Amino acid sequence: MPRPGTPMPTPMRNDRRRLLGAGLAAFAGLLVAPRGAFALDDTQARALISRAVTEVNSAIDSGKTGQPLYDLFESIFVRFADVPTIARSALGTASRSASGAQMAAFTTAFRGYISRKYGKRFREFIGARFEVQGARLVKGFYEVKTVAYLQGQAPFEVLWHVSDKSGKDLFFNIIIEGVNMLAAERTEIGAMLDARHGDIDALIKDLKTAG
């Protein structure tokens, strides 16, 4: 699809072309000003995940372990993922009744929790290779397909869902062989909240050391 504002090579009289041009520019302005659904394209989505995968690979190869490695993952997570949206989705309906301060505290605690939880597991990915295979549009966001190659295992599919609706190109979900990170974290956070009788502050406090 041509980008908005691409000159149309149609023979037209100057005045009509100018008028149409102005219209197109206004239309393009509408699309661009509040970044619209078409601002992100598959090349950008692929590029984002390629960069994220490269950084994850170099973090795994860095030889760091424990907290320094988790810190590295947290910085990657913050730069490439839409953490506030992931956190809100994981908290589910409870995020509707949470105050702004609670949401901010929860998001920060959630970020550390995710980095520790998945950071621990990333040790299993030492020597792994992620290959970006392609991207396609799904319901207004992009799905970038990567294949993970692990020694001694059949290659498996990892899908990254990328959106620009936060104002930046960021991923908001990872699906490993059909297993959806947002769904898993919603189950986990929901169970933690139930165990604390719906007390968000208690959840935030415990999340700071969980994972």
Catalog residues that contact other proteins under the rule CB under 8 A.
Answer: 85-86, 88-89, 92-93, 95-96, 117, 120-121, 124, 138-141, 143, 152, 154, 157, 159, 161, 163, 165, 172-173, 177-180, 182-184, 186-188, 191-192, 194-195
Least distance between other proteins and beta carbon 21 (Å): 33
* Residue nearer to other proteins on the CB measure, 50 or 95: 95
* Residue nearer to other proteins on the CB measure, 24 or 137: 137
* Residue nearer to other proteins on the CB measure, 26 or 37: 37
Alpha carbon distance 59, 114 (integer Å): 16
CB atoms within 10 A of CB 26: 10
Least distance between other proteins and beta carbon 190 (Å): 8
Residue 113, both tokens: 């929790």
* Residue nearer to other proteins on the CB measure, 31 or 210: 210
